[in-house]
Structure 1
């Protein structure tokens, strides 16, 4: 009896993975417009209603990875006293590195779609905000603040927004090179800010 929920969850995960794989394949080979709900369903060997049930928003198929809970847990597990910026750097870049290592083609395609398809880019902005609100709770707990404190919200949104912008920059450059150094550079920029060039006499 205890095995039944586990089996059910495994079946759900398998279905989600099939839908994702079909969507990426269609988008890569024929473009985003070809990745309709009906085409995705046929490719994944499921019904269109199943696709909609698992992903009510089509763009979420290529954007949502269900990692928010894991990110929050890893953020809470960072060493006590570590600066919040370094904590966020560690957990977010670890997640990105894992994605690049396990699904390099899908990660690059996702970034390209975010640049080329307005609806995907808009949804990416929305999902980043949702992730930020969740991580703000962990940041607040680690800094002894309330999650709704303006400073907590600004800080978390700024970090994730900057990392999102760096990802878009990477995609605009054709996803050439390694994304991780760009993300480290982004966090470093948040830390140091910008300085004006020296004035010429």
Structure 2
């Protein structure tokens, strides 16, 4: 709730022109309550469930798959979950909220810098989720490279999706970016991770 008010105010008034106190007043809480959940102003835009969702999907994926397919599939599937929104199957709410956050990240220098930090943390979460598959230094290095390459493709997809005002399904845009970087077999040809969820969302529309 606090984050929703923050993103709305940042969008309406501008990120730099809006204070944490403004956000607290709009949310009906104290500034201390805001800081308890969001230690910095940047966190009001950047904090989400993405790292946890990606890690969960990597842990659940088959270790027999190539690294890039495991990581790419997790990114596609977590994007499908995030765009569904936090409240059930409210697709438009989830997509509009994520679009607003992405536009703020793209247009605000301070948020762009922190967004890169978040990508590093997500890379670390991906490698950690691989567990025993990335224990020795050489294997860990390969995992880091694969994660970084997948995240670079995803970042390009996120920017494209925001510029296109979300007219295309985000999981599909990410899959297209990954395919451009690694080839068409990056996504499971028979439905793959995330594809079924994306199709379900399209039908509900």
TM range (shorter): 0.7 to 0.9
Selected match of 1:51 from 34, 56, 60: 34
Number of the residue aligned with 1:119: 110
| Structure 1 unaligned spans of 5+ | 1-17, 194-201
Structure possessing the higher relative contact order (Cα contacts under 8 Å, 6 or more residues apart): 2
| Structure 2 unaligned spans of 5+ | 86-93, 185-205
Selected match of 1:81 from 53, 56, 64: 64
Number of the residue aligned with 1:35: 18
Aligned residue for 2:84, secondary structure, equals helix
TM-score (normalizing by structure 1): 0.77
Q: C-alpha displacement at 1:140, in angstroms? A: 5.4
Aligned residue for 1:149, secondary structure, equals helix
Q: C-alpha displacement at 1:148, in angstroms? A: 7.6
CA distance in 2, matches of 1:175, 1:73: 25
Selected match of 1:128 from 94, 119, 123: 119
Q: Confirm or deny that 1:160 pairs with 2:143.
A: no
**Count of residue pairs the alignment pairs up:** 176
Q: C-alpha displacement at 1:147, in angstroms? A: 8.3
What's the RMSD between the two structures over aligned residues?
A: 2.3
Deviation sequence 1:27-68 (CA, Å, 0-9, x none) = 233332343101001011111122123212211112111342
Q: Confirm or deny that 1:105 pairs with 2:96.
A: yes
TM-score (normalizing by structure 2): 0.75
Number of the residue aligned with 1:180: 171
